[in-house]
Structure 1
């Protein structure tokens, strides 16, 4: 199943469940853009103080582990992991 054919509204809800209802900047953005930006910020560790930030590779590992260990549907897990892969490839 293609990432483009998935409901980003639903995936964004699932992402928020995994990351404890994290507040996301949605002002004038689509669900897809909001989700991609949130994942990018997570992988770049922009939610942490600069002195304690981890590498994007460490953050990627922890993000994938958190998604796979979560209680969201298998389908949502697969899509979220694919999106993490896509964002990580863009950051390399």
Structure 2
């Protein structure tokens, strides 16, 4: 799965519409700027691994994937962006499960 950089910017903006209060790390610890692709991948991976929840109440990645898909499908973002975000979630979920 590859997208153009402009596609990642649009996907990142759609992601931000869904999760308004999520902080997205824009710089590395060394001060280097992240690209939209890196920011989006990291945010989705953290979501699937439920890293922003206390360890005792974390949910499995497959459950987090279901919840994310439902939230995306019920959102007001454009249909093609919904499909792209769901596709990206599925792709990253497969990566997470294989590690």
TM-score w.r.t. length of structure 2: 0.86
Listed as ranges, the gaps of 5+ residues in structure 1 are none
Listed as ranges, the gaps of 5+ residues in structure 2 are 28-32
Residue equivalent to 2:15: 15
Pick from 74, 78, 81: which aligns with 1:76?
A: 81
Q: Which is bigger in relative contact order (C-alpha 8 A, separation at least 6)?
A: 1
Return the offset for 1:9: 1.1
Residue equivalent to 2:64: 59
Structure 1 residue 36 and structure 2 residue 41: aligned? yes
Deviates more, 1:37-46 or 1:16-25: 16-25
Residues 3 and 79 in structure 1, CA contact (< 8 A), matched pair in contact too:
no
Matched positions, count:
91
Residue equivalent to 2:30: none
Larger radius of gyration: 2
- C-alpha RMSD of matched pairs (Å): 1.3
Q: What does the per-residue CA deviation read over 1:5-55, in whole Å, with 9 as the maximum and x for residues that have no partner?
A: 361111111101101242100111100110000000000000101111000
CA distance in 2 between counterparts of 1:15 and 1:3 reads 17
